[in-house]
Amino acid sequence: MIKRRDFVTCAGAATLVQAAVPAVWAEPAAAHAASSPLSRAADGDRGAGMASSPAPAPGSADAGSSAAPADFTLHIAPAALEVAPSHFVSTSAYNGTAPGPLLRMREGKPVTVEVVNDSDTAELVHWHGLFLPPDIDGSEEEGTPPIPPGARRRYQFTPSPAGTRWYHSHAMAMGDLHRSTYTGQFGFLLIDSGSDPGRYDQELFLALREWEPFYTDQPMDTDDIGVLGPQPERPATFNTSRPNGLEATSQLFSVNDKALGSGEPIRVREGNRVLLHLLNASALENRTIALPGHEFYVLALDGNPVPVPRAVKVLTLGPGERVDAYVEMNRPGVWVLGSTFDPLRRAGLGVVVEYANQHREARWEAQPGEQWDYTVFGHAASAAPARPAPDHTIDMVFEKIPSGAGQFDLWTVNGKPYPHDREFVLEQGRRYRLVFHNRTDDSHPVHLHRHRFELVDVNGKPSSGILKDTVIVPVYGRVSVDLVADQPGLTLFHCHIQQHMDFGFKALFRYA
């Protein structure tokens, strides 16, 4: 196997994202391309324990008038994407593609990103998973100024922490299915730590997507995690006095911007090790995927190396979540890497993986039995380092009011839709346990901006050493996470399903 640096030298960086990210990388320098964010992921135990207390990353924003060229430029503009042959999706995107350009940054090295808003609505770009000040994090609730239509804004910041991050619109969509995360406004952002062992032959960036969403009163619930689980938050009686509101759904799916069979296959050779950076960029739902006959050797969740990397047959990602995994290409053939749910895969949620000199129909095989479980990547109970007791515990109860927002459901955190009369308050330096109580019949991928947290417990199953910024709280489930309050400033918490966020499922944390 060749080292990645050698591969870059002999083949050129663009080859590395074969069939994945369109060749529009906004790379500032070759040096950035020559290392990966997974520097120590394969070497052992980088994810142990809580994140230490990093200093707040410095950053600033201005109106983009500076003469020096930016390291990266993102143009938000209408785009027509050919998701299936002669099926053009009318949307908006960064630099005309979805995903947008791969932004590869070096941890700790300041960068300048210029965002030009050539759309006809105000926009916000959120840098998901980064430790950034609230005025540039990309959330209006935290105080980031929106970029008006026709305007540009220049952001300067120091990227941290290392790992697979991403960027996406953080506008409100409300009833408009042509806005925010319903559009093609998303892209990968990798922060290299600068010490990449390069133990793979190819690197692919794959985002799971849907297009042309529409409203229905008969949602296609496909991947609701926890339906068969213990359901500790299941109520004794159900309020069925009102009908459910309309929900956004879709019938056209893709990996990156191509429906299954519509784009170039991923071409591999037997014996190759392929590093996958997977992102669920869906506005709607969790997705579960598999590659028949192969396993995913999971290295990192949400870009953070896991304490116990291990191989699994299926991956589940909630909207906003990332998985970095190796796949050893050791079963020659032509396969479908795609959704385990047949209707979604048939509607485009997949990509063909083709071994060299294999020319047959792409094959899918069902993957029975295996259920996604975050905790298998944590320390074994006997090996878990002692965790300091939290200074405070904050309970957050999620409930749904059917049709509470007219046509749509309304979502509440501790009995109130956003905004709350008083924010949740954190004291700098203190350790908090957030306990998420999901008293609804949906699973929710909840995201905390500007911080990361350690998984402590999923439906009563203990976990240690897994650091994330987004976590699926299963149907009627309960998840506990710990965090150290080390990023002063307003911090947004929300469900990453766009419709839930828009209709109440948000809360602000404020530092005392």
Any contact of residue 209 with Cu ion (CB under 5 A)? no
| Residue 90: strand, helix, or coil | strand
* Binding residues for Cu ion restricted to 432-491, rule: CB under 5 A: 444
Any contact of residue 497 with Cu ion (CB under 5 A)? yes
Q: Which stretch binds Cu ion (CB under 5 A): 14-22, 61-69, 388-396, 498-506?
A: 498-506
Any contact of residue 111 with Cu ion (CB under 5 A)? no
For residue 446, what is the enclosing H or E element?
A: strand 444-448
- Alpha-carbon distance 411 to 417, whole Å? 6
Q: Comparing C-alpha atoms, which of 283, 284, 277 is closest to residue 301? A: 277
- Is the CB of 290 or the CB of 413 nearer to Cu ion? 413
Any contact of residue 21 with Cu ion (CB under 5 A)? no
Query: How many angstroms separate the Cα of 191 from the Cα of each of 134, 140, 206, 488?
Result: 19, 24, 17, 22
Any contact of residue 225 with Cu ion (CB under 5 A)? no
Q: Smallest gap, in angstroms, from Cβ of residue 292 to Cu ion? A: 30
For residue 346, what is the enclosing H or E element?
A: helix 342-346
Q: Smallest gap, in angstroms, from Cβ of residue 302 to Cu ion? A: 17
Taking CB under 5 A as the criterion, the residue among 294, 478, 500, 506 binding Cu ion is 500
- Is the CB of 344 or the CB of 497 nearer to Cu ion? 497
Q: Smallest gap, in angstroms, from Cβ of residue 401 to Cu ion? A: 13
Any contact of residue 506 with Cu ion (CB under 5 A)? no
Q: Which stretch binds Cu ion (CB under 5 A): 213-221, 237-245, 283-291, 493-501?
A: 493-501
Here the tokens at position 105 are 């940054």
Query: How many angstroms separate the Cα of 493 from the Cα of each of 142, 357, 450?
Result: 10, 49, 10
For residue 154, what is the enclosing H or E element?
A: strand 152-157
Total of chain residues touching Cu ion, rule CB under 5 A: 4
Q: Which stretch binds Cu ion (CB under 5 A): 36-44, 74-82, 316-324, 494-502?
A: 494-502
Radius of gyration of the chain (CA): 21
- Is the CB of 153 or the CB of 496 nearer to Cu ion? 496
Here the tokens at position 284 are 């709607």
Here the tokens at position 427 are 């004291």
Q: Comparing C-alpha atoms, which of 238, 140, 421, 444 is closest to residue 321? A: 444
- Is the CB of 348 or the CB of 474 nearer to Cu ion? 474
- Is the CB of 95 or the CB of 139 nearer to Cu ion? 139
Any contact of residue 130 with Cu ion (CB under 5 A)? no
Taking the CB of residue 86, how many other CB atoms lie within 10 A of it?
Answer: 6
CA dihedral 382, 164, 81, 286 (to 10 degrees): 20
Residue nearest to Cu ion (CB): 495
- Is the CB of 258 or the CB of 444 nearer to Cu ion? 444
Residue holding tokens 């028949």? Answer: 292
- Alpha-carbon distance 392 to 189, whole Å? 33
- Alpha-carbon distance 104 to 106, whole Å? 7
- Is the CB of 257 or the CB of 399 nearer to Cu ion? 399
Any contact of residue 283 with Cu ion (CB under 5 A)? no
Taking CB under 5 A as the criterion, the residue among 103, 434, 458, 495 binding Cu ion is 495
- Is the CB of 451 or the CB of 500 nearer to Cu ion? 500
Q: Which stretch binds Cu ion (CB under 5 A): 5-13, 151-159, 244-252, 500-508?
A: 500-508
Binding site for Cu ion (CB under 5 A): 444, 495, 497, 500
